[in-house]
Structure formats: structure tokens, C-alpha cells
Chains A and B, each alone.
Chain A
Amino acid sequence: MLEFDQITKEYRSFSGRRSIHALDSFTVQVEAGEIFGFLGPNGAGKSTAIHLAMGFMRPTGGQGRMLGAPFGHSHTRRRVGFLAENVALYHRQAERLIRFYGALNAMDGSHLAKRTREVLQTVGLEEQSKRNIGKFSRGMLQRAGLAQALVNDPELLILDEPTSALDPLARVMVRELLLGARSNGKTIFLSSHLLSEVELVCDRVAVLHRGKLVRLGRTADLLQSSERTEIVARGIAATAFAGSFAQNGIVRFSVPAADQRLALERVWSLGGEIVSVNPVRRSLEEVFLEVTRDHDLPRSEGAQ
């Protein structure tokens, strides 16, 4: 569906003396029907990767394909919806604007009119459809941007920070929209700093740091810690294990995964009963911080 194959992007200064690697041998395959989260600190190269996929830039090395065609193929973009970070739209009535973008994607007539009404309703702007975009708040602009990305009913949605300016209610709306799109077989490539949102909707996540892919995997797998295990037991004293927490006779504590067997044997030796043993679940924020700190090597210049 969307494939980056050893993509490298290097920005050179005008004299050519200084260069910055915004992306370094970046390889990722986004499968059909998934929501793929794309994470990384500022300057990691996320927007660069998205701009390469959309054909706004040419890679210095490597190649990529979107919906089976090389990056930058204009006809393929008919099947793609794109929302840029810091959305910038022409100042005109919301309805006319969405029709303009739909018409650029070879849509016309009653179909375009119907889709325009539908997407404005989907993003909650149906009552503002006759208002000029120039008078919109930032959150409303972002929703209008989302509407123009959806107007052609795309197979692939590429969204760069789609919820950054939205209030909590609108974020829920976007989340439901993304989940609904996935259930209709759409593929979504989502770049976001809002890790809690990514954690809730994404099937797989890639973490980019200083132009390099530092973690890639299923969200559920990434959130499971292989280093610590949580043990829930009953019939033992709350003080039996350091850092344990007791409630209604149930004692909950975590131990390093390597010490799991010893801990279980100790519970049994104390006459206790094991209720459950699970890997400790971390938040995506913890994973993100861990991954980016691990790869935080000294470097003279930030990417992009």
C-alpha cells in the first residue's frame, strides 16, 4: 500500500559544504487496511517521509511506492487523501473550497456536491459550510483540512498531525472517523505527537529518530514490557514483596522478568495463591521516551 525502501533524504546547503540527513535508509511497509502510527520527536524526519511519499520532494537515495506506483505519480494521488501539518487553505466558503479540491481530483457534478456535504457533516462543519475559511478558528481549519482530504473517498489517508489543534471532543470525532475508515478497508498513515491518540487507534507503530527508524512493531507488542512482570496473588502479607500494593486481600506487585520464577515459588512457599501473571503494560509515551533516549547519540545538527 505504502512502501519506503531504503529511502535517504539529504538536504544540502547552497554551497554544498554542509548537509543534513533528514532520512537515512528508511524502510517501512504499510499494509492495506491498517492504521499505521508514525512517531518521532521534532526534526526526526516524519514530515520529510510524508512529503517524499506525496511527491513534494525527491529522495536522495532509495525508492518508494504508493498504491503500486512510484512516489510522485499524479494519477495515483486521486486515490489518496492528504492533510498537511499546519494546514493552509484558500480563503473562501468552506463548501466551495472542498468542491475546489474535489474537482482537482477529477470529481464533478452531483457526486462531488453529495460528497462535499457528506464530509462537511462528518467533520462537524455542515453549519459552517457557507462561512469563509478565513474566519475559521485553527481547530475549524484543521477540520476543513480533514474534509478536503476525505472528499475523494481515498483508499489511503496520509495525515500529518491531524489532531494537534483540536479540542478533546473533536479528537474523539477524528478517532472515530479513523476507526470507521479502517473498518471500511481504508489504510491510514498517521503522524502524530499525541501518543495517547496513537496508542488508542494504531495497529502498528514506527518510531523515527534523527532520520533513522529506531522501533517498528505492533502497538500491543511495543506496549508489553519484556523486562518486568506483574504478579497478582492472594493469601500473602502485603509486606511480603517490596513495592507491593494490597486491596481486599489481593496483593499486586511487579518483579524483573528474570526473577519471575523465584517470586512465584516464594508466593507458594508463603502459602499464597497466584491469581494472574502478566507482562507489565507500558504507555506509548514510556516506550517513546525509552527508544528516543537510547538513540540519543551526540550529533552536531538536527535533521530537517
Chain B
Amino acid sequence: MKPILLIALNFVREQRWPIFVLLLWVVLLAVVGLFADLPRERDDLLFIFKQIAIYVIAFSVFFGASAIYNERRSRRILGVLSKAVARDQYLAGLILGVTLACAIYCFALGVTATWTLGGAGFPISQVWFLMLCLVAACVLAGTVALMFSTFLHPFLAAGAAALVLGLPALASLTLSVRWAYIVPVFILGTAVLKANFKSPGGLFWFPVGLAFLETFFFWALATVIFSRVDIAVEVE
């Protein structure tokens, strides 16, 4: 467990500048909340919150898709995997790192939304449930992207992940809503997007649990593929 945590913390440290830039969006929400006429402009504030919230799913895909590539290109992966770190632990560390990076963002967003949206009458418990939905969506989306990046270039991996995440969403819109449960990132994202002051939404735990379960599945799949990859070969 310790190597996984070390790799995760190291990932967050290496991604500190992108995380910092992401957090500027949260600062934007805080600034808007500071100057907004809350009772009158609360719907506008909620709109900005939703927009800022949903970005993190896209960033989780980019974090996941580029994690292995960056390490291989810089050859730093050799230093880590020359220690007593198995490849499944290495991938678990990167997934935990992506999770931590997104969780930092979601926590900051949750605190800001508690202050701004909570002050305008949005249930605080629902703010934090939506943050949990976002984290679950990020973990799954990041893991799918990481899985593809074990054998694809990051751009292709991000594209493939977008397909895997998007096709069930498309099927749920055209065929049946059940299709969205195949990869529940769309459901979790929709929970955030559909929230409003009149009906903030309920605490539906099934998609959250399913997302964490599928994360485990994609991690296992990534491990099987990554154990066959020659990591010392130049990636350029």
C-alpha cells in the first residue's frame, strides 16, 4: 500500500501546476459569489458552478491519458519500477494520484459552493453528494484513459476513452437510459448538470458504487495489458 500512496503523492506533486491552474476556476466562482446578488442571481451562479464542475471530468481524462507517457518519455519510470514496485501497484498509484488531483479540485469547489450556493439556499448535503459524484466520475474516466494509454499515444488514448465514455451516453439518449449504466460517467455528470434550486436531486448511490467497481475492473484490465508492455522502449 505504501508504494501506491508514494506514487500517488508524487503524481500530485508533479501535476501541481495544472492543478493550481484548475483551482483558478474555483477562485472565479468564489469571486462571482462574492459580488453576486445571491437571491436574484443564484441561477447564474449555479450555472457557473455546473460548468466549472464538469470540466474536471475532462481534466481527469487528460491526467489519466498522459500519466504513463510522461513518465516513459522522461525515463523517470525506470527509477520507480527498478524498486520493489509491481506494475499493478504502479498503475494503482497513478489512478490514486488522478483521484487525489481531482479530489483536491472537487474539495475546493465544494467548499466554495457551500459558501456561495449554500448561502443562496441550495442544500449543502447535496453539494457534497454532487462532489462525490464528480470524484467517482473522474476516477472512472481517468482509469479508462489510463488503461488505453498503456498501449496508445495519449491523444489516441483520450479519444478512445471519450468513445468508451460517450457511446453509452449516446445510447442512453437514443435507446434506453439503462445503457448509461454500462459506464456511468454520463449519469454522474448529468446529476451535476441537472441540479437546480427547485429540485436539487436525490442521493442515488448506485451509479457512484458502480463507478468505483468499474474503476477496479479497468485497473485490472490495464494491469494485464501493461504487464506485457516494454516500458524501456522509446515512446517518441
Contacts and interface: CB of A to CB of B under 8 A. Distances in A.
Given A74-B84, A104-B7, 20 more contacts: A47-B232, A54-B78, A54-B82, A55-B81, A56-B78, A56-B231, A57-B232, A77-B84, A82-B82, A86-B75, A87-B79, A89-B76, A89-B79, A90-B14, A90-B79, A101-B79, A103-B2, A105-B83, A106-B3, A106-B84
Chain B's interface size range is 20 to 34
Interface of A: 11, 47-48, 51, 54-58, 74-75, 77-78, 80, 82, 84, 86-90, 92, 100-101, 103-106, 108, 145, 148, 152
A88 B74 contact: yes
B79 A75 contact: no
A177 B59 CA distance: 46
A101 B80 CA distance: 7
30 contacts: A48-B232, A51-B232, A54-B81, A55-B81, A56-B232, A57-B230, A57-B231, A57-B232, A57-B233, A74-B84, A74-B85, A74-B89, A75-B84, A80-B82, A84-B78, A84-B79, A88-B76, A88-B78, A90-B13, A101-B83, A103-B3, A104-B7, A104-B80, A104-B83, A104-B84, A104-B85, A105-B83, A105-B84, A106-B3, A108-B2
Nearest to B80: A104
Interface in B16-47: none
Interface of B: 2-3, 6-7, 10, 13-14, 74-76, 78-87, 89, 228, 230-233
Contacts, number: 77
Nearest to B7: A104
Nearest to A106: B84
B230 A77 contact: no
A87 B13 CA distance: 20
Nearest to B82: A82
A103 B85 CA distance: 11
Contacts of B231: 56-57
B233 A104 contact: no
Contacts of B86: 74
Given A51-B232, A77-B83, A104 B78 contact: no
A84 B75 contact: yes
A38 to B, nearest CB: 16
A100 B10 contact: yes
A112 B211 CA distance: 38
Contacts of B13: 90, 92
A86 B3 CA distance: 24
Given A75-B84, A77-B84, A11 B233 contact: yes
